[in-house]
Amino acid sequence: MCHNDFHDGNVLVSETGHGWRVTGYVDVENTVVADPLLDLAKTDYYALRGNQTKRRAFLRGYGQLPPDWAARMALYRLHHALEFWNWSASTGKLSLLADIRSDLEKIISTDG
């Protein structure tokens, strides 16, 4: 199962003797059955927003990743950007489209 909406406000944590630990999740109405990397890519796209320090820590905290994780994450980031474009356009939030277009261009570029 993929939560499909991980961000700071939906992940519950508590401090233990060994550091911070995830204790639960809230806001689960978007849950889907999918590749677990779909969640990582959505968190990367929406919450981490290119912050490489947070991204490294996030991925390190996830644990062992499959050999093809980077390619799969890139594909899923593209999916989330297109989904965000569609939602923004369909709900009249046209001011967001320029930023999403920029995201899409970065994702599909050879450097993305």
What is the tens place of the pLDDT at every residue in 73-107?
Answer: 999 999 999 999 999 999 999 999 999 999 999 88
Tokens of 35: 């590749």
Would you state the pLDDT for residue 109?
Answer: 86
- Residue 112: pLDDT band (50, 70, 90) is very low
- Break the chain into its structural domains and give their ranges: 8-108
DSSP string, 49-93: TT-HHHHHHHHHHH----TTHHHHHHHHHHHHHHHHHHHHHHTT-
Stated pTM of the model: 0.78
Name the amino acid, one letter, at 111: D
